[in-house]
Amino acid sequence: MADKVHHPSSLPELQALMSSTTYVAVDFFADWCPPCKQIAPIWTKLAEQHTVPGQLAFAKVNVDHAQDVARAYRVTAMPTFMFFKEGKQVAVHGQAMIQGADPRAIMAAAEKLNGLAKKRAAEA
């Protein structure tokens, strides 16, 4: 079963995802970073549980492979989680980004976004 996490490898790809989906949650990671590996299964699970087609998508960006993306968003620590609404960075539960492998903060953000996404899907 393919996982629901998107893997944009360039800025245009990420921007395309942001154009097609209202809310996008992005995990910026690196292959050599142990905390990123710790959080990876949690991110996959959140994508499984909370993706709402057209309204909420979960993405992972490898900062070494998609350097244009990492630079555009000035990612300096991994993992960094950012949240976007209609292409613009937004704060969820007061945080525009989460730095570090913080499972509880990430799960809370995913749940909040899911609630917002479902509301928009119902209104659409």
Residues 75, 88: Cα–Cα separation, whole Å: 16
Residue with tokens 């990612």: 75
Measure the CA–CA gap between 43 and 23, rounded to whole angstroms: 15
Q: What token pair was written down for 90? A: 């937004």
Binding segment for another protein among 10-18, 42-50, 54-62, 100-108 (CB under 8 A)?
100-108
Candidates 47, 92, 101, 109: give the one binding another protein (CB under 8 A): 101
In the complex with another protein, which residue's Cβ is closer, 8 or 79?
79
Write down the least CB distance from residue 63 to another protein, Å. Answer: 6
DSSP-derived secondary structure letter, 36: H
Q: What is the largest distance, in Å, between two alpha-carbon atoms of the chain?
A: 42
Say whether residue 106 binds another protein (CB under 8 A). Answer: no
Report the nearest approach of another protein to the CB of residue 86 (Å): 27
DSSP state of 119: H
- Near another protein in 15-44, by CB under 8 A: 30, 32-36, 38
Which residues inside 74-93 make contact with another protein, applying CB under 8 A?
Answer: 74-80
Distance from C-alpha of 109 to C-alpha of 112, rounded to nearest angstrom: 5
The residue from 63, 82, 92, 110 that contacts another protein (CB under 8 A) is: 63
Q: How many angstroms separate the CA atoms of 47 and 43, rounded?
A: 6
| Residues at the site binding another protein, with contacts judged by CB under 8 A | 30, 32-36, 38, 63, 70, 74-80, 99-102
